[in-house]
Amino acid sequence: MGMMTFLAGKHLDRRSLLKGAGIAIGLPILDAMRPALAAPAKAVKQPRRAAVVYVPNGIWMKDWKTPEGSEFASARILKPLAAHRDRFVQITGLANHAANKAKGGGHAKATGSFLSGAEPKYTAGADVKAGVTFDQLLAQRWANETRVASLQIGCEDSRMVGNCDTGSSCAYTNSLSWKDEVTPLAVETNPRSVFERLFGTADPSLSPEVRARRAFYRRSILDMTRENAQQLSGTLGAADKRKMEEYLTGIREVEKRIQTAERDYVVPPIEKPSGIPFEYRDYVKLMFDLQAIAFQADLTRVSTMMLGREGSVRVYPEIGVPDPHHPLTHHRGHPDFIEKVIKINTYHVELFAYFLDRLKNTPDGEGSLLDNSSILYGCALSDGNAHSNFDLPLLLAGHAGGIRGGRVVAAPEKTPVANLFLHMMGASGVEAEKFADSTGRLDLA
């Protein structure tokens, strides 16, 4: 659908696009999208978003859980979230029973079953099998309403073949989302590819030569749509013009950061694909910004992001941890190893706080993107040393579905984590009585 000209007595279609040279950019929600003759109270209904932010290798639980009788979120690892204390709940007691029953590597069967509640088949071959994940049920529901059904983003190795965990396929450790029981969805690790999927060519008829030429010149997405944007701006009120300017500025900043990463491309022996910032912190923030823009423009309503693949051996010298992550989690009680694990856990939470800041500070109708989202943060393992699938370390942020934050929600011990996914589906407007091994919807309202 092309851009509609805004005329007196009419309103701008919610799915209008800025177009130019095969490029299409979705718009944020504007006042001009309200029915012009409707009462002010009849605002555009805000879409709900759902996201999963995944961290690998378990979390040091003693410094993750809010101590009983203490101020909420006072645990060391959660301190970076202090400013968002009222915007999330910490959930305890949830278990992934499918992983506990399954065969295979401890990391592979945890991630491979996490969002589906289905036991992954023990194989390192192409015959992988698990189950549809709850995020993909949401994606199916909204597929006809958004440009991109769902985003699967990662910040590390995205191989989908081979043996990545004691005879278990890399598809289990390196991905979270499954379209169906035999189709894992690969994560996209290159910000440029994510950007172009969101804002790139809208014309599949373009020849490979034309696409290659555009890639070579890297003309700005915004330059290509400048004329259309100026036309639209002339029809908008002052408040909408400001929203458009902020939105397009955000896109421009992300695009510039990707271009800078491409210019700073380092040739082998350091293998870094084009478009990926050298610093991990910059890389993660760029991926979070892409998700926020996609939500803001309603290009997608579902995303999953892996800060690292399960079993990750990433090192973090920027926080004083030059040791690979996974071996540290098998600490055998060594205090120096545990301290380094805590530093990594805290660093990940600090980066997640950036995402929440971004969502909170992005207007969305009468509230913010965070108000209209359910954002799950956590891991499919609790104790990484023991590969435990019980009492999973999970937070749920955002106010979609009437969540009241600032508290610990203690579910009965070994409650299926699928109960939480039922809640997230309902909070996103997709009601279901059952998902995987759920025994009922987790009450977080």
One domain for residues 166 and 111: yes
Which of these three, 247, 272, 297, is where a domain ends?
A: 272
In a domain, 78, yes or no: yes
In a domain, 432, yes or no: no
pLDDT digit string (tens) for the chain, length 445 residues: 344 433 334 466 666 666 665 556 667 777 777 654 344 444 557 899 999 999 999 999 999 999 988 999 999 999 999 999 999 999 999 999 999 999 999 999 999 999 999 999 999 999 999 999 999 999 999 998 888 999 999 999 788 989 999 999 999 999 999 999 999 999 999 998 898 888 765 444 556 665 555 554 445 556 656 667 677 776 777 778 877 777 877 777 887 888 777 766 544 444 454 578 889 999 999 999 999 999 998 989 999 999 999 999 999 999 999 999 999 999 999 999 999 999 999 999 999 999 999 999 999 988 999 999 999 999 999 999 999 999 999 999 999 988 899 999 999 999 999 999 999 999 999 999 999 999 999 988 7
Give per-residue pLDDT as tens, 62-74.
999 999 889 999 9
Among candidates 351, 192, 358, 352, which has minimal Cα distance to 264?
Answer: 192
Instruction: Tell me how far apart the alpha carbons of residues 199 and 193 are, in angstroms, rounded to a whole number.
Output: 10
One domain for residues 174 and 305: yes
Cα–Cα separations (whole angstroms), residue 427 to 176, 271, 371: 20, 41, 11
The predicted structure's pLDDT at residue 417:
98
In a domain, 195, yes or no: no
Which of these three, 241, 257, 272, is where a domain ends?
A: 272
H-assigned helices in 32-186: 97-101, 106-113, 134-142, 170-173
Residue 64: which residues within 8 A CB-CB, separation 6 or more? 75, 77, 78, 345, 393
Give per-residue pLDDT as tens, 397-413.
999 988 899 999 999 99
One domain for residues 146 and 1: no
The predicted structure's pLDDT at residue 148:
92
One domain for residues 237 and 282: no
Residues of the domain holding 372: 48-189+276-427
- Cβ contact 65:83 at 8 Å: no
One domain for residues 182 and 258: no
In a domain, 226, yes or no: yes
The predicted structure's pLDDT at residue 4:
41
Residue 404: which residues within 8 A CB-CB, separation 6 or more? 89, 444, 445
One domain for residues 285 and 325: yes
Instruction: Tell me how far apart the alpha carbons of residues 294 and 27 are, in angstroms, rounded to a whole number.
Output: 10
Beta partners for residue 26, in sequence order: 17
- Helix, strand, coil shares, percent, the chain, to 5: 35, 15, 50
Residue found by looking up tokens 């579902």 in the block: 302
One domain for residues 296 and 416: yes
Among candidates 329, 327, 437, 410, which has minimal Cα distance to 101?
Answer: 437
In a domain, 401, yes or no: yes
Beta partners for residue 363, in sequence order: 368
One domain for residues 6 and 121: no
Which H, E and C letters describe 220-276, residue by residue?
Answer: CHHHHCHHHHHHHHCCCCHHHHHHHHHHHHHHHHHHHHHHHHHHCCCCCCCCCCCCC
Q: Number of structural domains, the chain?
A: 2
Among candidates 70, 304, 284, 363, which has minimal Cα distance to 184?
Answer: 304
In a domain, 440, yes or no: no
The predicted structure's pLDDT at residue 428:
93
Cα–Cα separations (whole angstroms), residue 63 to 177, 213, 296, 343, 410: 29, 52, 34, 10, 17
Among candidates 160, 168, 161, which has minimal Cα distance to 186?
Answer: 160
In a domain, 118, yes or no: yes
Which of these three, 272, 287, 311, is where a domain ends?
A: 272
Instruction: Tell me how far apart the alpha carbons of residues 135 and 301 are, in angstroms, rounded to a whole number.
Output: 10
The predicted structure's pLDDT at residue 111:
98
Instruction: Tell me how far apart the alpha carbons of residues 226 and 179 are, in angstroms, rounded to a whole number.
Output: 37
In a domain, 196, yes or no: no
> What CATH code is carried by the domain that includes residue 339?
3.40.720
Preceding amide of 268 cis, omega within 30: no
Exposure of 59 by Cβ count < 10 A (0-12 exposed, 13-18 middle, 19+ buried)?
buried
One domain for residues 379 and 350: yes
One domain for residues 217 and 339: no
One domain for residues 247 and 313: no
One domain for residues 319 and 226: no
